[in-house]
Amino acid sequence: MNPIQTATAYHLMAAEDLRETRINRHSRWSDDRWFFDNLTPGHDAAASTIRWDFIMPDGSKFVDPKWAILLDAHRRLVWSLIVDPRQRHRYKPGSMGKLSRRVHYLARWMGKSGYAHFGALDTCAFDQYLDNLLIDKQNKANLNAVYLMEHLALPVSLGYQAPVLAKAGIPVPGSAPLAWHDSVRGRETAGRPGTGIRPASPRPHIFAHNDQRLVHA
């Protein structure tokens, strides 16, 4: 039976018990990639795969020992989103590729910025993360608000999943991602005509609506 269906709480297990634990018939917890069954006819295998062996900004792999703490935290975050999502949105096998891309961006940014674990993140850090996304968009003409929404989703989910991760002993940023998200949403009011309030920063603003939609203004 698929652990996604049985909601096995692997994210709460001790690290020493997880190394050889099989999360499904294809993959173990410690594998470089997690493969999930996707019953959709003609599906792309990459769409149902989570990669952990991507290259970090310093040229190492995310599965290398130097990233063990950050890797473990991301694995537990991902599994908690699969089996115990506090936003009530369960990831299906066919959306694992999307989740993998979100992990790839957040983990690489944390490694590049010197954040060793989720507990090191605060509102200032998430503002830096947003700045990084905006720079990416400015440097890549084919990117738009959909790209920004894609990579803002995981930090916001981290805020919702913090109580779950805390049960596993993972350092968490508390309310920081949600407070950051609220501050991003607040910029919408600051830029509306007729409010008498001018935007607090000359940079472009990203406005979030109901955690589902972003508008670039």
Q: Which residue has the higher pLDDT, 196 or 114?
A: 114
**Percentage of the chain exceeding pLDDT 90:** 48
- Residue 43 sits in which domain range? 3-216
Mean pLDDT in the chain?
A: 79
Residue 124: both structure tokens together: 């200032």
**pLDDT over 50 at 195, yes or no:** no
Percent of the chain at pLDDT > 70 equals 73
Task: Look up the pTM and report it.
Answer: 0.79
The total number of structural domains in the chain stands at 1
80: tokens are: 């908690």
Mind listing the pLDDT tens digit for each residue in 155-177? 999 999 999 999 999 999 865 55
pLDDT value for 63 = 98
Residue whose token pair is 């996707």:
38
Q: Rounded to the nearest 10 degrees, what angle do helices 145-167 and 123-139 cross at?
A: 150
Angle (CA) 78 82 86, round 5°: 90
Residue 148 to residue 126: CA distance in whole angstroms: 13
Which ranges in 61-213 belong to alpha helices (H)?
68-83, 96-113, 123-139, 145-167, 176-190
**Rounded to whole angstroms, what are the CA distances from 122 to 75, 110, 153?**
21, 12, 16
Tokens of 16: 């020493």
Can you tell me the distance from the alpha carbon of 28 to that of 9, in angstroms, rounded to the nearest whole number?
14
Query: Which pLDDT value is given to residue 90?
Result: 78
CA distance 78 to 19: 16
Helix or strand or coil: residue 214? Answer: strand
Please give the pLDDT value at position 93: 87
Whether 91 has a pLDDT exceeding 90, the answer reads no
